Amino acid sequence: MSEERFVDIEVKLAHQEQVVNELNEVVTQQQAKLMQLEELCTSLTQRIRSIGEGDANPEQDERPPHY
């Protein structure tokens, strides 16, 4: 192989390494955000369930006397 061909291959490899590193960074950020959103979803689900349990008062479900 000629020297020029080796240089071309090395340049392409360097670009690919850069792209792979950038993609890895994006995936890492997305994973962190996904974990935050999962925690938020779990927290909101628990909060909604606790509110629902607190509203289980039968007196609140009765019709007012003017009906």
What per-residue confidence (pLDDT) applies to 65?
A: 77
Residue 54 has pLDDT above 90, yes or no: no
Higher-confidence residue of 54 and 19: namely 19
Q: pTM of the prediction?
A: 0.62
Cβ contacts of 32 within 8 Å, gap of 6 or more: none
Which H helix or E strand runs over 32?
Answer: helix 3-54
Mean pLDDT lowest for which of 1-15, 32-46, 52-66?
Answer: 52-66
Measured CA to CA, the distance from residue 36 to residue 54 in angstroms comes to 27
Segment 45-56 mean pLDDT: 85
The answer, yes or no, to whether residue 8 has pLDDT greater than 60, is yes
